[in-house]
């Protein structure tokens, strides 16, 4: 039995972490299933992916504290690498990934959401990196991605203080783009994913690559990355279709991912 449920609606994939009895906490098996589920997404067909948690209470309540409690230093490092490898795969996934955060996003849950391109959440969502209260540092990228998303000062306050924040505060500091009533969250996630999926897939992928790779280098190198990816869009069928539709004053566009 897999801890990940996967379904598709048109060009949108929906991946649900399904371990509700432990509030979807990430143990080794969940991480392995998540890794396999990501690998199985057919990016020739799927143009945007949503990640959410099962149940009404929790997105992911963190890495599994029971499993981590007895780890040696070497095992702790290996566990961290396992999570980091999966989360990095999500971050570098060729198509956009939306985290639909339906409750607790603590520790590894907050870190999972931060490896996604866009975060939206329900009003009952709670975010935090409680690790220093457990005697460890965030280990699935939290020290790096939180500071990049919300700024160094806010990240340090949250991490040093093991301070949880609610949805409205997460919105205020830019950790999430939108907050919705719980019953609307998935519909809104699907709507956002469908909007992305309706645009030219090669252009969307190249835009993701340009933003993400450009942020890792200085502005002169970043601009060159953009130029190359911009150039690569030309001569594609979808570039001709998109510009052709504009010139012909045609609303309908048929992007074929070529």
Distance between CA atoms of residues 113 and 183, nearest Å: 19
Q: Which is nearer to ligand DAK, 121 or 210 (CB)?
A: 121
Our answer to whether residue 131 is catalytic in this structure is: yes
The CB-of-114 to ligand DAK minimum distance in angstroms stands at 12
The residue from 25, 41, 95, 170 that contacts ligand DAK (CB under 6 A) is 25
N-to-C CA span, the chain: 36
Asked if 53 touches ligand DAK (CB under 6 A), the answer is: no
Contact between 54 and 7 under an 8 Å Cβ cutoff? The reply is no
Give how many residues touch ligand DAK by CB under 6 A: 26
Asked if 134 touches ligand DAK (CB under 6 A), the answer is: yes
Asked if 130 touches ligand DAK (CB under 6 A), the answer is: yes
Closest CA to 137 of 216, 73, 182: 73
Sheet with 165-166, side-by-side order of all strands: 58-60, 104-106, 126-128, 165-166
Q: Which of 7, 9, 56, 131 is catalytic?
A: 131
Asked if 32 touches ligand DAK (CB under 6 A), the answer is: no
The residue from 18, 33, 35, 64 that contacts ligand DAK (CB under 6 A) is 64
Binding part of the chain for ligand DAK, among 57-65, 112-120, 176-184, 225-233 by CB under 6 A, reads 57-65
Our answer to whether residue 241 is catalytic in this structure is: no
Measuring CA to CA, how many Å separate 107 from each of 26, 128, 189, 200? 10, 6, 22, 35
| Range list of H helices, the chain | 28-40, 65-68, 73-91, 108-114, 142-150, 152-160, 167-172, 185-197, 201-214, 219-233, 237-247
Residues contributing to the site for ligand DAK (CB under 6 A): 22-23, 25, 61-66, 76-77, 79-80, 83, 104, 106-108, 130-131, 134, 136-140
Active site members: 111, 131
């Amino acid at each position: 039995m897999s801890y990940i449920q996967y379904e598709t609606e048109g060009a949108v994939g929906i991946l649900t972490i399904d371990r509700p009895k432990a509030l979807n906490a990430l143990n080794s098996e969940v991480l392995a299933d998540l890794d396999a589920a990501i690998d199985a997404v057919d990016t020739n067909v799927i143009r945007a992916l949503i990640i959410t948690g099962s149940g009404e209470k929790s997105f992911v309540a963190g890495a599994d504290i029971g499993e981590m409690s007895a780890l040696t230093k070497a095992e702790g490092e290996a566990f961290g690498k396992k999570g980091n490898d999966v989360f990095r795969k999500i971050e570098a996934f060729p198509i956009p990934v939306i985290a639909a955060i339906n409750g607790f996003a603590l520790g590894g849950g907050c870190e999972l959401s931060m490896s996604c391109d866009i975060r939206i959440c329900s009003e009952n969502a709670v975010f935090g990196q409680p690790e220093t209260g457990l005697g460890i540092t965030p280990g699935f990228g939290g020290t790096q991605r939180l500071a990049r998303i919300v700024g160094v000062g806010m990240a340090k306050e949250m991490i040093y203080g093991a301070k949880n924040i609610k949805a409205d505060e997460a919105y205020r500091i830019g950790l999430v783009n939108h907050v919705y009533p719980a019953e609307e969250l998935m519909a809104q996630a699907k709507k956002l994913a469908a909007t992305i999926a309706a645009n030219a897939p090669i252009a969307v992928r190249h835009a993701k690559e340009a933003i993400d790779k450009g942020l890792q280098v200085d502005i002169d190198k970043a601009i060159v990355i953009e130029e190359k990816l911009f150039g690569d869009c030309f001569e594609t069928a979808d570039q001709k279709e998109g510009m052709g539709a504009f010139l012909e004053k045609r609303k309908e566009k048929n992007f074929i991912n070529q």
